[in-house]
Structure 1
Amino acid sequence: MLTKHTLFTLIYNLRPLLLYHYFDERGSSAGFFNNWISMGHSTTAPPVAKETFKKGTDLPSWHKYVILFTVSFMCLAATFSSTCLYPATPEIAAEFGTTAEHINVTNAGVLLAMGSSSLLWAPIARTLGRRTAYNAAIAVLFFCSIGTALSINMAMFTAMRILAGFQGTYNMVAGQTIIADIFDQKRRGTAVGFFMVGSVLGPAIGPLVGGIIVTFASWRSIFWVQTGMVGLGLFLSLLFVPSIAQPHQITEKPSLKLWGKSQVEMLKVFTLLIYPNVFFADLACGLLAWTQYSLLAAPRHLINPRFNLTSPLVSGLFYIAPGAGFLLGSIAGGRFSDMTMAKKIMQRGGKRVPQDRLNSGLIAFFLIIPASQLIYGWCLQYDVGGLALAIVAAFFTGAGLMAAFSSLNTYCAEAIPEQRTAVIASKYFIQYIFGASGNAAIVPLIDSIGIGLAATIGVILAISGGILVWTLAKYGGEMQTFIDGKLGHQVETDDEK
């Protein structure tokens, strides 16, 4: 017979597997089941879990891979919301008695909210711990998804969408920081590449799933699907993602004073832009985001009338092409980034320089993205090659974008390791400002000057980003050293990672 004592003993022994314990950024430790078992029996603090990992790199490999899958899946669920309504825009506009342009502006507002989410959640993370903030952000997104599905008018729909957006990029910032904490620098690029699978597939499969759903059911079902995805992500996070001790984190107890200090600390999201290497990396990501979201926002507007298509399902299926490109580019780009870094380390006699990995993305900036975008835009402009050529061009555009993003994302986690979260947050802030601009502007721009010239503008922006990255790869170290010298800072490397 299973007694209470036997049950508690079993639970206690399963704690390392279930991972219901954590060691948070402030240095406190706790175990969920330790707390539960001791409730009502003791007023003293619960014992420290012996299985706690103070360094993320000490985690076993299987645990790292499960964490990587979890944070990547959560990014997929969060970014799914940013594009899932593209094929359903006319249907939503009709139900709420508004225009498609109004819905597109709402989508742009969601992207702006996503870019700003770290300004809200990072102080919470510094006050309550990163794990608590991460799970709370997921929980808020869960309830906002339900609220969007139950919206009764345009005001409620807009409010729920934008509130959901405010949880968006914190999942990416925290996820990318977690990966930087648990993988050493030799494998970090590959890990970030796999992490990006979630963040890049979300915007790509969102319209695909949305198109399928809106063809056969109500657009509200899109958000019930999203609710299920976010709920699963929350379950996985609670089960498998611990907090990792941070060597640069403060050790104060939660308080209003700490909350205020944390908000001031988040100004580093902007003050770090004084470093040219950080600003160049962020701006390059923003220029890529314009191309990414202008590619994703326009297909139903472009494809359906040109090829006499009437179903949102077909325009939704079109997103398989850039989605597959995103997948290939993120994985291959991350791996190529690590290979480039390893080669440069050998050439430098064992010295590791973070900006060396940026060389891996130059071919994407200067060849793959420009060529595929020009083919995509001008062939659609003059009806050359049909739908098949547009699909192929969209695939290579997506692959090039993610190959370029991979090295930049990893670099942002390595450039100033003691300010890693702030650097990554600044990247997403600028990236989503450009993404929102591309999302809102691309359809009116196409109507005004044509898809050919609109694509050419995207190419110019991508090449400009490539120039920034080339400059950063060549002179990034000198840029950072110069500013550190002016500010009287000691330059800290990430070699221990």
Structure 2
Amino acid sequence: MAHSSMRDMETPDHSPSNIASSTPATSIMGDIHELDNNSSSIASSTPATSIMGDSEKLDHSSSSIASSTPPTPIVVDLEEHSPGYDAPAAQKWLVVFTTSFLTLTACFSSTSLLAAADQIAEEFGTQANTINYSSAGLLFAMGLSSFVWGPIIPLCGRLYAWNACIIALLGWTLAASFAPNLETFILFRVLSGFQGTFFHVTGQAIIAEYFPPVRRGAATGLFLCGPVLGPPLGPLVAGVITTYTTWRVVLWVQSGMVALGLILSLIFLQKGGKAATLKHPSIRDLLHIWNPIRIISLMRYPNLLLTNVACALVSWSGYALMSSPGHLLRTQYNLNSPTLVGLFYLSPAGGFLAGSVLGGFSSDRSVKLWIEQRGGIRLPQDRLRSGFLSWFVIIPLASLLFGWGLDRHVGGLALPIVSAFFASAALLEAFAGLATYCAEVMPLNRQEAIASKYIVQYTGSALATMFTGPIVDTIGVGLQSSISAFLGCAAGGLCVLVALYGVNMQDWVHRRWPAKAMMPRNEEDLGDGASLDHVEPVLEKNFQLRLNAALPCPPRGALLLV
């Protein structure tokens, strides 16, 4: 399977004899679930534990498989009967708003002091780049936050860990606002970063409990409004505040936002989330849940590793877009007012908001279209196809116009403002499907899969924040934006590979490490994977088909049309 060519994928053999081939359970892609095919030729005793959760298959007989007109698709999903799916719509969207607002407050801090770097540096007697390096340290700490807070979930439950993380963020932010010197300021800033992406990871896990896969992209797109609006709103708000008062007020405003998020969580997140599973943990249990290998080892899956790298490349482009304007507006356009510099960020803020919303709906549309074309099979990587136009056309074009417009002073400020909007919108339109894919490709290890994404993603963000200024000073903003455009195309290329061969990549891992293809139930309970109690009876009576016998050939040229 792992070495099957695209020719095999395009001309599947639907004969029962081929379907009944004695493929080992561990070699079959652990993403496909199907109901009983009612055919003795398929009656192999495939265990339920070989099934993971990446795609779904409809119930039909072997004769209907060979038919050119398959029955109406019925998509079967691991979490099809999740209790949260039946919650009222108002409750679902309040959950999305609350989780999104908390991620906004966490991301707000990552860039809020970029516009105030000169003022802070003057007070502490240092250079503005040093303050930007502290922001880079905060971003790097954000990528590691799941190592700190993720293991607390099995100890005290998801919601208790969520609220405790909010309180910790509030405490460290207040401490940074009262820092008497540069050393303590940097220390408390970095410590506040260790709470950051736990809100991203756990928020997406909570949303997955309330929205089925065919609607999850829209919910995730709206959820992403928080983490994508936070970075551009940070320097905007900080620029206005520091024009009239001290930079410490910025951190006090952020503390108020965190306190509001805590109140919303206590009101609207009273239910949901995984309960504590380790009532009396042993030392071995504690060492296991805090073992970072649980997260890092998932990146042995090439499809997850490639999408994580794509997220890092997107983050580089996004944070480079936000780091360069303030630096250039002060040095080349003599806009020394923090308010004027901050207002420039309205453009990427609007683009991020529009792109995240449109990207969620676009990825859902892509999933539904490919479910129909495959006769009922859902592959999460299908939502990656929705961003191809953004990856290869809009992002590079808008990035080049933005950078070279600033570099050559073409079009005044109008050209970079407009191009920044389209570049940021395209980045988030493509990123929405990418983020949703990472959240659902491994439902039994969702928490760890999302955490691995943020480790790589925020490493890219930290590097962009740290090096964009020096790169612009050395080679100019035009070449720096050309680098961002190239990285955007590279991210798109990685998404193309996963969209085409993601199933084969996971199957290769299952062939190479069959014992690790599925966590045992008792070990799964230690983490934060999706509960399978409501689907195990269905899985136990099911059989698996080879993927190349199950996938109808999509129409030629359909790859780039979604």
TM range (shorter): 0.7 to 0.9
Task: Report the alpha carbon displacement of residue 491 of structure 1 after superposing the two structures with TM.
Answer: 7.2
Query: Which residue of the partner structure matches residue 247 of structure 2?
Result: 219
Task: Report the alpha carbon displacement of residue 243 of structure 1 after superposing the two structures with TM.
Answer: 5.1
* Residue 397 of structure 1 pairs with residue 388 of structure 2: no
Query: Which residue of the partner structure matches residue 61 of structure 1?
Result: 89
AA matched with 1:260? L
Superposed CA deviations along residues 86-129 of structure 1, whole A, max 9, x for unmatched, are: 11000000001111111111110000000000011111112211
Q: Distance in 2 between matches of 1:260 and 1:468?
A: 35
* Residue 419 of structure 1 pairs with residue 422 of structure 2: no
Matches within 5 A, 1:174-189: 174-189=202-217
Native 8 Å contact 1:307 1:387 kept in 2 = no
DSSP-derived class of the 1:85 partner: coil
Distance 1:340 1:54, change over 3 A: closer
AA matched with 2:265? S
AA matched with 2:341? S
Match of 1:263 among 290, 315, 325: 290
Native 8 Å contact 1:151 1:157 kept in 2 = yes
DSSP-derived class of the 2:180 partner: coil
Q: Which has the larger radius of gyration?
A: 2
Match of 1:480 among 506, 527, 530: 506
Task: Report the alpha carbon displacement of residue 307 of structure 1 after superposing the two structures with TM.
Answer: 2.1
Give me the TM-score of the superposition, normalised by structure 1: 0.86
Q: Distance in 2 between matches of 1:243 and 1:371?
A: 45
Question: Any gaps of 5 or more consecutive residues in structure 1?
Answer: 1-52
Q: Distance in 1 between matches of 2:460 and 2:82?
A: 38
Task: Report the alpha carbon displacement of residue 486 of structure 1 after superposing the two structures with TM.
Answer: 2.0
Native 8 Å contact 2:407 2:477 kept in 1 = yes
Native 8 Å contact 2:104 2:229 kept in 1 = yes
Native 8 Å contact 2:324 2:477 kept in 1 = no
Distance 1:55 1:102, change over 3 A: same
Query: Which residue of the partner structure matches residue 45 of structure 1?
Result: none
Task: Report the alpha carbon displacement of residue 369 of structure 1 after superposing the two structures with TM.
Answer: 0.8
Task: Report the alpha carbon displacement of residue 196 of structure 1 after superposing the two structures with TM.
Answer: 0.3
AA matched with 2:202? A
AA matched with 1:379? G
Query: Which residue of the partner structure matches residue 409 of structure 1?
Result: 435
Task: Report the alpha carbon displacement of residue 256 of structure 1 after superposing the two structures with TM.
Answer: 4.7
Native 8 Å contact 1:373 1:456 kept in 2 = yes
Task: Report the alpha carbon displacement of residue 61 of structure 1 after superposing the two structures with TM.
Answer: 1.9
Query: Which residue of the partner structure matches residue 31 of structure 1?
Result: none
Q: Distance in 2 between matches of 1:348 and 1:228?
A: 50
Task: Report the alpha carbon displacement of residue 490 of structure 1 after superposing the two structures with TM.
Answer: 5.3
* Residue 338 of structure 1 pairs with residue 358 of structure 2: no
* Residue 281 of structure 1 pairs with residue 296 of structure 2: no
Match of 2:102 among 74, 79, 88: 74
Task: Report the alpha carbon displacement of residue 279 of structure 1 after superposing the two structures with TM.
Answer: 0.2
AA matched with 1:414? E
Task: Report the alpha carbon displacement of residue 245 of structure 1 after superposing the two structures with TM.
Answer: 5.7
Q: Distance in 2 between matches of 1:128 and 1:424?
A: 20
AA matched with 1:477? V
Match of 1:235 among 257, 260, 263: 263
Match of 1:104 among 121, 124, 132: 132
Distance 1:211 1:476, change over 3 A: same
Q: Distance in 1 between matches of 2:163 and 2:323?
A: 30
Matches within 5 A, 1:318-397: 318-397=344-423
Q: Distance in 2 between matches of 1:95 and 1:295?
A: 27
DSSP-derived class of the 2:413 partner: helix
Task: Report the alpha carbon displacement of residue 148 of structure 1 after superposing the two structures with TM.
Answer: 1.4
Native 8 Å contact 2:145 2:196 kept in 1 = yes
Q: Distance in 1 between matches of 2:136 and 2:173?
A: 17
Superposed CA deviations along residues 350-386 of structure 1, whole A, max 9, x for unmatched, are: 1111100100011111111100000011111111111
Task: Report the alpha carbon displacement of residue 254 of structure 1 after superposing the two structures with TM.
Answer: 4.4
Distance 1:229 1:245, change over 3 A: closer
Give me the TM-score of the superposition, normalised by structure 2: 0.76
Native 8 Å contact 2:179 2:185 kept in 1 = yes
DSSP-derived class of the 2:115 partner: helix
AA matched with 1:356? D
Query: Which residue of the partner structure matches residue 190 of structure 1?
Result: 218
Distance 1:79 1:245, change over 3 A: closer
* Residue 460 of structure 1 pairs with residue 492 of structure 2: no
Native 8 Å contact 1:128 1:254 kept in 2 = no
Task: Report the alpha carbon displacement of residue 186 of structure 1 after superposing the two structures with TM.
Answer: 1.3
Q: Distance in 1 between matches of 2:206 and 2:151?
A: 17
DSSP-derived class of the 1:86 partner: coil
**Structure number with higher relative contact order (C-alpha < 8 Å, ≥ 6 residues apart):** 2
Native 8 Å contact 2:158 2:276 kept in 1 = no
Superposed CA deviations along residues 130-171 of structure 1, whole A, max 9, x for unmatched, are: 111111111000111111111111111111111110000001
AA matched with 1:403? E
Native 8 Å contact 1:116 1:429 kept in 2 = yes
AA matched with 2:287? G
Query: Which residue of the partner structure matches residue 121 of structure 2?
Result: 93
Superposed CA deviations along residues 454-483 of structure 1, whole A, max 9, x for unmatched, are: 111111111111110000001001111221
Q: Distance in 2 between matches of 1:412 and 1:100?
A: 36
AA matched with 1:120? V
Q: Distance in 1 between matches of 2:500 and 2:404?
A: 34
Native 8 Å contact 2:82 2:209 kept in 1 = no
Matches within 5 A, 1:121-160: 121-160=149-188
How well do the aligned residues superpose, as a CA RMSD in angstroms?
Answer: 1.9
DSSP-derived class of the 1:351 partner: coil
Residue identity (%): 43
Query: Which residue of the partner structure matches residue 335 of structure 2?
Result: 309
Query: Which residue of the partner structure matches residue 244 of structure 1?
Result: 272
Q: Distance in 2 between matches of 1:212 and 1:441?
A: 25
Task: Report the alpha carbon displacement of residue 57 of structure 1 after superposing the two structures with TM.
Answer: 2.2
Q: Distance in 2 between matches of 1:490 and 1:426?
A: 17
AA matched with 1:198? G
Q: Distance in 2 between matches of 1:296 and 1:132?
A: 34
Q: Distance in 1 between matches of 2:368 and 2:410?
A: 43
DSSP-derived class of the 1:429 partner: helix
Native 8 Å contact 2:154 2:277 kept in 1 = no
DSSP-derived class of the 1:298 partner: helix
Q: Distance in 2 between matches of 1:302 and 1:381?
A: 9
